Amino acid sequence: AQSVAQPEDQVNVAEGNPLTVKCTYSVSGNPYLFWYVQYPNRGLQFLLKYITGDNLVKGSYGFEAEFNKSQTSFHLKKPSALVSDSALYFCAVKGGGATNKLIFGTGTLLAVQP
Amino acid sequence: DAGVIQSPRHEVTEMGQEVTLRCKPISGHDYLFWYRQTMMRGLELLIYFNNNVPIDDSGMPEDRFSAKMPNASFSTLKIQPSEPRDSAVYFCASSFGRQGTDTQYFGPGTRLTVL
């Protein structure tokens, strides 16, 4: 069965420092991996996705994610955090096969302190 | 593009009442998804459609929940009768194209409170 784990409920980082939000997955076949961000009282916004190709994927707002097949991870990163990056971040996976379902992680709250 | 549109944005109702949530997907998208988000259970997929046909409704909690998609530009999620435990934020999302690579775009959600 497909699954996604976000091991940290919350990540705290100072503004200007690099940030990492972790995600690991389990899926049969080739994984399709996504990151979404949710600001308070808003819907989920797409940040980036990995389908195939380069392991480093660049997305919106300066975020990037690194696909690591051997570690089954897809960590979200940003070189320099902004206070406005504070939000809830979701990792999601879609495995091979006929399903079009996205399986979401439980979310990680990113808090960037000024 | 207006994005995915949901209405109402907020709904407060009393236990036992019927609730209907509405969604207009992005024009041209052929997949539509209904999700529910709660603190306890996180984000759950309830049902999804492809070309207006329900494909997977295994996430629908019980018979009180039903969803329809009469045409490519409109879908409803109905709860009848509603219960306090149905209180949640309900999201609609849509996507287009190749299976497995398409990105889902979410609406702003409907916050449902059942008293």
Instruction: Tell me the per-residue pLDDT of B64-114, one tens digit each, with 9 for 90 and over.
Output: 999 999 999 999 999 999 999 999 999 999 998 765 567 899 999 999 999
Q: Check residue A70 and report its DSSP letter.
A: T
Binned at pLDDT 50, 70 and 90, residue B1 comes out as low
- Give me the torsion for CA of A75, A81, A87, A93, rounded to 10°: -20
pLDDT at residue A30 in the model: 83
String of DSSP letters for chain A: --EEE---SEEEEETTS-EEE--EEE-SSS-EEEEEEE-TTS-EEEEEEE-SS-SEEE-GGG-EEEEETTTTEEEEEESS--GGG-EEEEEEEE-SSS--PPEE---EEEEEE-
* Interface touch A102/B104, C-beta < 8 Å: yes
Q: Check residue B85 and report its DSSP letter.
A: G
What type of residue sits at position A76? L
Q: Are A44 and B91 in contact (CB under 8 A)?
A: yes
* Interface touch A100/B108, C-beta < 8 Å: no
pLDDT at residue A101 in the model: 82
Gap from A100 CA to chain B (nearest CA, Å):
6
pLDDT at residue A86 in the model: 97
* Interface touch B48/A101, C-beta < 8 Å: yes
pLDDT at residue A2 in the model: 83
* Interface touch B50/A42, C-beta < 8 Å: no
Q: Name residue, tokens 């949530």.
A: B21
CA–CA distance, A25 with A69 (Å, rounded to integer) = 10
Tens-digit pLDDT string for chain A (114 aa): 788 999 999 999 999 999 999 999 998 888 899 999 999 888 999 999 998 888 999 999 999 999 999 999 999 999 999 999 999 999 999 865 666 788 899 999 999 999
pLDDT at residue A90 in the model: 97
Nearest to A46 among B43, B55, B105 (CB): B105
Q: Name residue, tokens 């709660």.
A: B38
Q: Name residue, tokens 């209907």.
A: B20
pLDDT (tens digit, 9 = 90+) per residue, B12-37?
Answer: 999 999 999 999 999 999 999 999 99
pLDDT (tens digit, 9 = 90+) per residue, B31-64?
Answer: 999 999 998 888 999 999 999 999 999 999 889 9
pLDDT at residue A14 in the model: 97
**SS3 of B43, please?**
strand
Tell me the residues of B at the A interface, defined by beta carbons under 8 Å apart: 4, 31, 33, 42-43, 45, 48, 50, 55-56, 91, 93, 95, 99-109
pLDDT at residue B101 in the model: 64
CA–CA distance, A7 with B19 (Å, rounded to integer) = 36
**SS3 of A84, please?**
helix
